Amino acid sequence: EDKVVQSPLSLVVHEGDTVTLNCSYEVTNFRSLLWYKQEKKAPTFLFMLTSSGIEKKSGRLSSILDKKELSSILNITATQTGDSAIYLCENAGGTSYGKLTFGQGTILTVHP
């Protein structure tokens, strides 16, 4: 069974801190790994990673995939209160092209 595990499950930091969120996966026929930010109801897309070792960057957020270790990290530097959200890791793989597996998420809380 395809599996995606995120850690930590929750994290509390202060503004300005840097955080690293982890995602590890066990999927057959890996295709891509995606990160989403969920603030209220709908997750919003952050990154899609398909190749190992290539960092994707958007402002203070960056992410990288390690296919050898079957994992990915999401880094957020100089955190702000607006970064408070659930960060979800999703894996596209398995025998069905459309079957996508989410991790349980990391709840990030950034205090002023």
Partner 1 sequence: GAGVSQTPSNKVTEKGKYVELRCDPISGHTALYWYRQSLGQGPEFLIYFQGTGAADDSGLPNDRFFAVRPEGSVSTLKIQRTERGDSAVYLCASSALAGPSYNEQFFGPGTRLTVL
* Residues of the shown chain interacting with partner 1 in the complex, contacts defined by CB under 8 A: 4, 6, 31-32, 34, 36, 40-45, 48, 88, 92, 96-105
Q: Which is nearer to partner 1, 4 or 64 (CB)?
A: 4
| CB of residue 78 to partner 1, shortest distance in Å | 25
Nearest to 35 by CA among 27, 81, 25: 25
Q: Which is nearer to partner 1, 63 or 103 (CB)?
A: 103
Nearest to 63 by CA among 77, 83, 44: 77
Q: Which is nearer to partner 1, 17 or 62 (CB)?
A: 62
β-bridge partners, 96: none
| CB of residue 52 to partner 1, shortest distance in Å | 17
| CB of residue 73 to partner 1, shortest distance in Å | 17
Is the separation of the CB atoms in 104 and 9 below 8 Å? yes
Question: Distance between CA atoms of 57 and 14, rounded to whole angstroms?
Answer: 22
CA 68 to the chain's CA centroid: 17
| CB of residue 109 to partner 1, shortest distance in Å | 14
